[in-house]
Structure 1
Amino acid sequence: MGDVLARRRLLTSALARLHDRPDADLPGIPGHVVASWRRSLAHGVDPTTVSNLHHPDLDLDSRLARCARPVIEQLAEQIAGAPVCVVLTDDRARLLVRLDTTSAIGRAADDNRFAEGFGYDEGAVGTNGVGTVLESGRSVHVVGAEHFVEPLQSYACAGAPVRDPVTGRIEGVLDVSCRVEHSSPILHSLVTSAAARIQDALLHERDPGQRAVFDLYTRVDARSRRPVLAVGRRMALANTALQTLLDPADLAALQEHARFRMHRGPDVDDRLDLPSGVRVRMRGTAVTDGSAVAGLVAVLSVLREADGIPIPRLAPDVRPVPDPASTSPGWRTAWTAAAEALRAGAPLLVVGEAGTGRRRLLADLDRALHGPGRVVEIGPADTDPATLIGSAGPSPLVVLVDVDRRPGLPTGLPGALRACRARLAATAVDGARCAPAVADLLAGFRHSVTVPPLRNRSGDLPSLVTAVLADLAPGRDARLSADALRTLARHGWPGNVAELRDALDTALRRRPVGAVEVGDLPESCQSAPRGALRPVDQAERDAIVAALRTTEGNRAAAASVLGVARSTLYRKIAQYRITA
């Protein structure tokens, strides 16, 4: 007992000296504890209270949580004779799972906000068995007064990192916490061993497609000294050569383009202009799992002027094409190729999902090359194209909108095109599904570009939001709060830019001026379902989001408002991937 009291006095005295003089030497204190105390001081952590935040947007049924639960239950059984909490957090120290061996230790954990949804990072609560693991990257055992904040100094916690077995990245932390008098060094060994078992479960749970991507990546990386990139549906790998070659913004843009490109054919050989201005060549192969595309593995090289990249030289009377307002390599590639076709007057097919901005790309480019007012759009419902084309003046750009939805060509179109010397372009979602007459027309096209969906252009979201708000609310001070922009960034945008415009239009009706908040956005923006929802599912999703907003994210209260069990609410939140 005397040793315990002496140790506590040493720690308390050392922490007090550190508060008085942050650069003080602290002999007898473990190095990882001193380093954590200094970080806690730098973060301005209040040593008198636990002041962490609740995060209502956590996915409590994540892959990590699913793999960890059996291990957590087994660990709790091993130490059932001691009052402990076994906790799993994500990589941001937010609690996903907590299992208590006694109700008393559970109540004590609740009192210290050590509960599902709350964060325990060092910047909020100082030295502890979760946040300190994430900061140090290794397992720790924090006992008593080694904690930075006083309310936690009656407790001990042993934490270990849980790493992705493929990438080595820390996915979360496994922690066992108890009162100091029940602590033992064996807890540190138990939690480290259990974390390793969770990593094994993650490896075996990884779907065959991801394993196939990883296997090809390791083979390509082993036989090549060049930069190698691999992307899957939920993973991205870059070897050291690639990480040192590109800055983070270029690498992020490249990964998004690779995810877009992997669905467009088995072989890839693209030349891309990245946000920094670097031009690269990406050559790779799509990886399949049965009939599904699992990912893409590619080798990168930087193209320099000596590689003979052709630089177009414009005639003096041709307007220069402005640089695209996009960081997406896919969009920039489409923009450049479309500009070359339109400048040459060649027929052009623009392919992409509905709402991606195919028509906007054509209109913006033609305005830059030939001036405003020269674009005529002929939709599937337009039956008199000759009148529309004839009223546009000489040599207009005629855009056949959604040709894959047409049963055939409108009567009089060929003659109207010849009479006005019109240039021709078309848009389609799937050019292979055109009616025979339309397919015959497209057979004469020699140029096509593909516009990437918004989910593969996340870097463009802030500029797109600014442009759409300026268009919807000209002259008004309308803008998005940081939280609202983060909410939009988490959305999958199945309707692309058209859906974004509708969402911002709804938000502006709710808040015409000033900063648009999360609550002003439509309920659909706080959900990212894996597939299309039926109307009844949309109504249920919207009711859940509204209840969560009303209760400020309190799920128990939201379940009560909706009249459903809390477990049902959690299941529906996971089903619709609600982030409210």
Structure 2
Amino acid sequence: MPERSDRTPSLTGARVHLIEDADPALRGVPDHVAASWRRSLSCGVDPRAVAHSYSTDLDLGSRLIRCAQPVIEQLAEEIAGAPMCVALTDDRARLLIRRDSDSCIGRALDRVYFARGFGYAEDTVGTNGVGTVLESGTSVQIVGAEHFVEPLQVFACAGAPIRDPFTGRIDGVLDISCRSEDSTPLMLSLVRSAAARIERNLLLDRDRVQQALFELYSRVDARGHDAVLAVGRRVVLANTAMQTLLGPADRGALEDHLRFAMSGPAGLDDRLVLPSGTPVRVRRSTVSAGGDVAGVVGVVRVLDDDHPPAGSATRTSRPLASGSGPAPDEAGTSPAWRAAAAIVEEALRADVPVVVLGEPGSGRATLLAGIHRRVHPAGRVVLVAAEEVEAAPAAVAERLLRAGRGAELHVLRDVDRLSPPAAQTLLDRLGGGARPVEGLAATAAPGGAAPSPLLAVFAASASVPPLRHRSADAPALVRSLLGELAPQRRIRLDDEAMRLVLRYRWPGNVRQLREALAAALRVRPVGCIRAQDLPTYCSSVPRTALRPVDEAERDAIVTALRATGGNRVAAAAELGLARSTLYRKIRHYGISV
């Protein structure tokens, strides 16, 4: 194979033919270079000039820079005898650090704006050792005429991705650049080795929260042969005993339970029934670092028949008796839901006032209504809105005290939203919590700066998990909600639509799921609901909360992808975006189409 310098004429000719003919065969051009040239051309990169975009919002105190700095200094010393530079960029191809071995190479690079704050993304600068790494996800070396933009063809560059050791996501690129006549294959080996050392530093420098979770998991796993499961906000760890003890569905339900338990007391002994009917005991510890919760580590054992879990009798998993109407979320299979149902049933059977805590839309009132219908099949449930109590707390109290007992349950909704004066008035009129009020229940959101004084009325409490921690219940919930929304119709979700339902985090919980299915039914009233029938937000799982303008942009991207059958090239053209820009936005918004 000829040397790169000998291939300059053929590379130059192939590039000219590509620009003139749009899609030649590009014979003799390395595959990764040919792919990058085509991407550069499709993005409208000017082959005659460097497009010098500049950013001022750089994070110069980032963990990436902290972990890369010593490696860059060492690498700069290793190449001190050669006219080269070492550069670090972020995941948007913006230069953060540059170290020159001599002033000549520094001045040459300044002329093409290879300096801090300037961007070298492939969609603006074409083929190069930074942007092409981010597009391909692999290490590359680009020499001379392999660059798409002519002013860069006097240089050679070798770049390697720096990946987060936990997520696998590319956090930045390490690059070595020089004049093309000074290029050597060793540049690629050097940059790969240095990038690996930076990734090692990132692993050792993981934040104190993750460090605490790893350390406790390792200590617990080393003690014996028990099944150990650790669940953090972004990571799940399971030893071999855990992976062989339970099936995938039971493990998933247990992971959901531990995520929900992250907000609970630091050390508890749970006895649960998993979806398969397997009873287990979980000795769990919540891991904290400073004021942050890292996760939960649980030791799991299967119980024998002589030690059944509390609340695991068949009555807690039976379908609830039908009452005034369908209730799609009465009986869940997740351990946390079953445990909450057992507490509520015990309280209602004993006529003890109970408050159910959970996020809005998570099925708190539905659970109370369903359990009440089980305990009192002929009874009725009266829902009392927080606004009604706020407007006339004394009148509501009088009605509660006069209400029929046993067969009638009054549910005060969202008592945490009551103003202190309204809550105190209601509390005083109900006797200040000195004696139990029969036939009374309430719902409230967990946490809050100041607990409502009205909680003094209640003698029992249960916490229901949000829908995102009940993935095992989602398919049954979908079927039940569709049965309620479209009775007597044959309607179901196809596999791709169900995958979106399971992947989405549902901040509005069951209420939002119901709204999404109702919207899909307006698009496809009978038959098989497809992914594109669901609202656009179902195809996005962003890492952070979105502003209204971000939501509008996300919806436009999802709509374009759905309209083009997932063809990203066609979607980028329809949106008027460069393909690489579209790829970055898809990753940013967590879009799955």
TM-score class, shorter: 0.5 to 0.7
What residue is the counterpart of 1:369 in the other structure? 375
Q: Which residue in the other structure is 1:232 paired with? A: 232
CA distance in structure 1 between the partners assigned to 2:527 and 2:144 by the alignment: 48
Task: Tell me whether 1:429 sits opposite 2:439 in the alignment.
Answer: no
Q: Does 1:414 align with 2:430?
A: yes
Counterpart-to-counterpart distance in 1, 2:449 and 2:192: 56
How far apart are the structure 2 equivalents of 1:473 and 1:236? 38
Shift of 1:522: 0.5
How far 1:361 sits from its partner (Å)?
A: 0.7
d(CA) in 2 for partners of 1:502 and 1:331? 22
Q: Pairwise mapping of residues 174-189 of structure 1 onto structure 2 (< 5 A)? A: none
How far, CA to CA, are the matches of 2:335 and 2:163 in structure 1? 31
Contact 2:272 2:310 in 1 (8 A): no
Q: Secondary structure at the match of 2:500?
A: helix
Kindly indicate whether the alpha-carbon contact (under 8 Å) linking 1:260 and 1:456 is maintained by their aligned counterparts in 2: yes
The structure with more radius of gyration: 2
Partner Cα distance (2:380, 2:493) in 1:
34
Work out whether residues 213 and 296 of structure 1, in 8 Å CA contact, stay in contact via their aligned partners in 2.
yes
Distance 2:475 2:317 in 1: 23
2:356 touches 2:461 (CA, 8 Å); kept in 1?
yes
- In 2, the alpha carbon distance for the partners of 1:445 and 1:429 equals 15
Structure 1 contact 71–198 (Cα < 8 Å) conserved: no
* Alpha-carbon contact 1:398-1:422 (below 8 Å) kept: no
Q: What do residues 121-162 of structure 1 show as CA deviations (whole Å, max 9, x unaligned)?
A: xxxxxxxxxxxxxxxxxxxxxxxxxxxxxxxxxxxxxxxxx9
For residues 403 and 191 of structure 1, the distance between their equivalents in structure 2, rounded to whole angstroms, comes to: 60
Change in Cα spacing, 1:106 to 1:99, as seen in structure 2 (3 Å) is farther
Q: Give the AA of the match of 2:590.
A: R
Taking the TM superposition and a 5 Å limit, the aligned residue runs for 1:47-66 are none
- Equivalent position SS for 2:430: helix
Note closer, same or farther for the CA distance 1:334–1:202 as it changes in structure 2 (3 Å cut): same
Given residue 427 of structure 1, which amino acid in structure 2 is its aligned partner?
Answer: T
- Give the count of matched residue pairs: 428
CA-atom RMSD in angstroms: 4.6
Conservation of the 8 A alpha-carbon contact between 1:334 and 1:449: yes
Rounded to whole Å, the distance in 2 between the matches of 1:459 and 1:106 is 51
Residues 401, 437 of structure 2: 8 Å contact kept: no
**Matched residues in 2 for 1:264 and 1:560: separation?**
49
User: C-alpha deviations, 1:491-549, integer Å up to 9, x for none?
Assistant: 11111111111111111111111111111111111112234333333222212211222
Contact 2:353 2:439 in 1 (8 A): yes
**2:252 maps to amino acid:** A
Q: Shift of the alpha carbon at 1:567? A: 4.1
**Counterpart position of 2:591:** 578
Superposition map of 1:85-104 within 5 A:
99=140, 101=142
1:401 aligns with 2:413: yes
Contact 1:257/1:330, CA 8 A, preserved across alignment:
yes
Instruction: Give me the whole-angstrom Cα distance separating, in 2, the residues matched to 1:306 and 1:579.
Output: 47
**Aligned 1:214-225 pairs, distance under 5 A:** 214-225=214-225
Unaligned 5+ segments in structure 1 are 1-62, 74-84, 108-161, 172-185
Which residue of structure 2 lines up, in the alignment, with residue 322 of structure 1? 318
C-alpha spacing 1:252/1:289, structure 2 compared with 1 (3 Å): same
SS of 1:346's partner is: coil
2-side partners of 1:357 and 1:406: how far apart? Answer: 20
2:456 corresponds to: 443
Q: 1:308 to 1:470 in 2, by over 3 A?
A: closer
Q: For the structure 1 residues 309 and 352, does the alpha-carbon distance in structure 2 shift closer, same or farther, using more than 3 Å as the test?
A: closer
Is the 1:279–1:303 Cα contact (8 Å) retained in structure 2? yes
Match of 1:125 in 2: none
Which residue in 2 is equivalent to 1:203?
A: 203
**What is the SS of the residue equivalent to 1:294?**
strand
Q: Residue 343 of structure 1: which of 349, 353, 357 is its match?
A: 349
* Matches of 2:542 and 2:316, distance apart in 1: 42
Name the SS of the counterpart of 1:557 in structure 2.
helix
- 5 Å-filtered alignment, 1:177-576, equals 200=200, 203-204=203-204, 206-307=206-307, 322=318, 325-382=331-388, 383=392, 385=396, 395-407=407-419, 408-409=422-423, 414=430, 422-430=438-446, 433=449, 438-439=452-453, 441-576=454-589
* Aligned mates of 2:430, 2:401 — CA distance in 1: 11
- Scaled by the length of structure 1, the TM-score of the pair is 0.62
Conservation of the 8 A alpha-carbon contact between 1:404 and 1:431: no
1: distance between equivalents of 2:467 and 2:316?
A: 27
Change (3 A) 1:359 1:282: same
Deviation digits for residues 176-217 of structure 1 (CA, Å, limit 9, x no counterpart): xxxxxxxxxx9xx99997997697366347443222211111
Identify if the C-alpha distance between structure 1 residues 513 and 373 changes in structure 2 by more than 3 Å, giving closer, same or farther: farther
Distance 2:407 2:437 in 1: 5
Cα distance, 1:222–1:262 mapped onto 2, change above 3 Å:
same
Residue identity in the other structure for 2:410: V
TM-score normalised per structure 2: 0.61
- Which secondary structure does the structure 2 equivalent of 1:306 belong to? coil
Determine helix, strand or coil for the equivalent of 2:231: strand
Deviations 1:373-429 (CA, angstroms, capped at 9, x unpaired): 5111111112453569978786411111001001124769739x99x9741111111
Counterpart code for 2:359: E
Return closer, same or farther for 1:96/1:493 CA change in 2, 3 Å cut-off.
farther
Partners of 2:246 and 2:400 in 1: how far apart? 48
Q: What letter is aligned with 2:339? A: T
- TM superposition shift of 1:166: 8.3
Question: CA distance change for structure 1 residues 569 and 267 in 2, over 3 Å: closer, same or farther?
Answer: same
Q: Is the 8 A contact 1:321 1:369 kept in 2?
A: no
Question: Higher mean Cα deviation, 469-478 or 230-239?
Answer: 230-239
Quick one: structure 1 residues 106 and 363, their matched pair in 2 at CA, closer, same or farther if it must change by over 3 Å?
Answer: farther
Task: Measure how far apart 1:271 and its partner are.
Answer: 1.6
* Residues 563 and 196 of structure 1: CA distance in aligned 2, closer, same or farther (over 3 Å): closer
Q: Distance in 1 between matches of 2:556 and 2:240?
A: 47
Q: 1:374 & 1:432 partners in 2: Cα distance? A: 31
Q: Distance in 1 between matches of 2:371 and 2:522?
A: 31
Q: Counterparts of 2:482 and 2:572 in 1: how far apart (Å)?
A: 35
Cα distance, 1:464–1:194 mapped onto 2, change above 3 Å: farther
Contact kept, 8 Å, 2:317 with 2:338, in 1: the verdict is: no
In the other structure, the counterpart of 1:32 is none
2:386 is paired with a residue whose SS is coil
- Going from structure 1 to structure 2, the CA distance change for 1:380 and 1:247 (only over 3 Å counts) comes to same
| 2:56 alignment counterpart | none
Cα 1:164–1:218 shift into 2, 3 Å = farther
Q: Secondary structure at the match of 1:474?
A: coil
For structure 1, which segment, 548-557 or 373-382, has the greater mean C-alpha deviation from structure 2 after superposition?
548-557
Unaligned stretches of 5+ residues in structure 2: 1-62, 69-87, 94-128, 149-161, 171-185, 320-329
Structure 1 contact 395–421 (Cα < 8 Å) conserved: no
Cα deviation, residue 99, structure 1: 4.8
| Contact 2:271–2:310, Cα closer than 8 Å, also in 1 | no
Q: Secondary structure at the match of 1:381?
A: helix
